[in-house]
Amino acid sequence: MNALPKTDMLEATRLTREGRLEAAMAVLQRTLSGASPSPVPSNFASDARRSPSVLARAILDMTPAPARSERAWTPPKFGKTHFASRRESVSPPRIPEALRGFLNYIGHHERVAPAFSRAPAPLPPDARFEERIYANKAGSRAYKLYIPSGYSGQALPLVLMLHGCTQSPDDFAAGTRMNDLAEEHTFLVAYPEQIQSANPSKCWNWFNADNQQRDQGEPSLIAGITRQIMHDLSVDPRQVYIAGLSAGGAAAAIMGTTYPDLYTGVGIHSGLACGAASDMPSAFAAMRQGASSVAEPARWRDGPKGILPTIVFHGDHDMTVNPVNADQIIAQSKAGANLRTTISRGEAPGGTRYTRLVRADESGRPVLEQWTLHGASHAWSGGSSAGSYTDPRGPDASREMIRFFLQQQ
């Protein structure tokens, strides 16, 4: 598993440079499985060009900046013609980046970003940070669960945190400092972990239409983790929230849309609306320029049942996910409801200026909140440098999300 025969690597590289991506993938997979080489079908090249979706389903290959850098994650560079329309057929890139995520996974090329490793912070007395696992017909996912020291069997709020590409539960917990807030306010926090076999860059596959449906794919796994925690511990069902960063933010938007009966609030940082993309080409198009259209949530098509409270953070200098996606998330959540809007502006102690829009329902309850972070890029605002992809200068997104969630009750 740590080394491929040189001849197979050369053959995989040659096929990749020729644009024969499925053939290259087949060589790598055969070698890893120990199978003997077999002739590559002559139709591989034409099939790969006509149907890039097989490879695209597995890889959304973002290029992160170095840890704690001010630079942003960026997607692979494509020509403008690739993004002229969501409905336009896009061929996979001919350069090796198309297989880079898979090659990273098996350890042959330099990883997209170095694995973030740091000794875990010491836990308060009587607090626990447990490793657990959930499985169903869609597969299995590990997750970390923080149980604060103040838990003694009483019903607590629960917050699920979905990490971004290349991150891990420990990394995300360190960067967002959500465990500290859980200790302060006494709530449970869970961090589902995406696996490299599902996506080599460990991105949640929000851009795959199969992962945008209730009780299917990744949504069923995340919802299953939520329900498992609610079964194993005492959780207040009126206070179950989900939040995420980037790909995790897009996945959180999907969960809020597909499970409005399970989650009572959603937090999305630098993410995209549910249904913003349905495959790899439309994903990069949405990340670069916003979705061409965003579907109305199913919960509204069934009749007005109230807005799922949603809070959004996005840097207006984000070069990875266009800030227009934040507007689209709010528009999707609002779904034509008549809300009263107030605007305020301020500056965080670290120097980041922001504009905050709050939309309240007829009773005056704030149900939608949007923070535009001026000059900020693709990183968790107000996060700790102990984790990756954080911007400590900004307003504290974690604390503001918890404040927004807890005020809903």
**Strands laid side by side in the 188-192 sheet:** 128-136, 139-147, 188-192, 156-162, 235-245, 265-269, 310-315, 366-374, 353-360, 340-347
Q: pLDDT of 100-158, one tens digit each?
A: 443 333 333 323 344 455 566 789 999 999 999 999 999 999 999 999 999 999 999 99
**End of a domain among 55, 73, 106?**
106
DSSP string spanning 189-219? EEEE---TTT-TT----TTSGGGGSTTSHHH
> In this structure, are 70 and 166 located in the same domain?
no
Q: pLDDT of 180-214, one tens digit each?
A: 999 999 999 999 999 999 999 999 999 999 999 99
Q: pLDDT of 56-111, one tens digit each?
A: 333 344 444 444 444 444 444 433 433 333 333 333 333 333 344 433 333 333 23
Helices (H), 302-350: 324-334
Domain containing residue 305: CATH number:
3.40.50.1820
- Answer yes or no: is 112 within a domain: no
- Answer yes or no: is 386 within a domain: yes
> In this structure, are 99 and 134 located in the same domain?
no
Total of domains in the chain:
2
Closest alpha carbon to 292 in 282, 300, 304, 302: 282
Instruction: Please give the residue range of the domain that contains residue 256.
Output: 128-408
